Amino acid sequence: MTNNWPALASRLTSALNLASAPLAITFSAEPLPGVELFDAPIPEALDDGRTGRVPAGCVFWMKAADRTFGTVAADHANCSVGSLTHGFIGLDEAATKTDVATMLEVGWVTMDIVPHIPVVTEKPGAVTYGPLTDTPVDPDVVFLRLNAKQLMVLSDAIPGLRIEGKPQCHIIAVAKEQGEVAASVGCAASRTRTGMPATEMTCAIPARRLAEILDAIETNSIADAAVARYAADDAQRFA
């Protein structure tokens, strides 16, 4: 591996005071050797053929908090949007599914926006999720769950940080394909399916840029802490 990922994960957790461990997300042509595939019951498919091992691929972000596992296209298939953004299916197929039809029907998205949603361009054979500290290979994306204060530090460290909205999962494609750091305010579908707290947001960092970005995060974290101490001391005059 090209980086000491456990050390980088430790620095990142410390600099941002993360409550949730940073994750590694890796796209590959085949499941990674020695990594167990995610195994959970698959419910009966709906009329449009949708089912999977979890309600949506974003649920794997929660499942991967303490263990590493591989997934294949069928595991993600209950959410057509996530399958689209992760490169498992194309727009033509996604448009035939009832979940996408519902989102269009209620105006959650419009058809003129859908073709512009960032996607992984090469269809993967597998996507591996797990704690960054345990990654068996150099990952493609480092994924974070953040609160507003942590996003503040990150925004100071990365001028012009992209803040994205729905669908939340497209920030993975932004980081992997475009090499940009992207945070997301989340989306109604993902928040409901993952159970992610309303106080949390997410961020995807191109793994190859983590060391460079981490230097800036640490510098700004130290500066923010110094200003916070000054502001707290100053506020004592008004106590």
State both tokens at 197. Answer: 């707290």
4: in domain: no
Q: pLDDT tens for the chain, 239 residues: list them.
A: 788 999 999 999 999 999 999 999 999 999 999 999 999 999 999 999 999 999 999 999 999 999 999 999 999 999 999 999 999 999 999 999 999 999 999 999 888 888 899 999 999 999 999 999 999 999 999 999 999 999 999 999 999 999 999 999 999 999 999 999 999 999 999 999 999 999 999 999 999 999 999 999 999 999 999 999 999 999 999 98
Q: What total number of domains does the chain contain?
A: 1
In a domain, 89, yes or no: yes
Q: Residue 68: inside a domain, yes or no?
A: yes
For residue 196, the enclosing domain spans: 14-238
DSSP letters spanning 88-131 = SS-HHHHTTSHHHHHHHHTTSS-TTTGGGS---SS--SEEEEEE
Furthest-apart CA pair in the chain: how many Å? 66
Q: Answer whether residue 224 is part of any domain.
A: yes
Q: Is the residue at 9 inside a domain?
A: no
Q: Residues 87, 90, 120, CA angle at the centre, nearest 5°?
A: 25
pLDDT for 66 equals: 94
Phi and psi at residue 206, to the nearest 5° = -60, 120
CB atoms within 10 A of CB 124: 20
> Can you give the pLDDT at residue 209?
96
Taking the CB of residue 75, how many other CB atoms lie within 10 A of it? 24
This prediction's pTM: 0.96
Confirm whether 126 is domain-assigned. Answer: yes
pLDDT confidence of residue 2: 85
**2 inside domain:** no
CA distance 89 to 104: 18
- For residue 215, being part of any structural domain is answered with yes
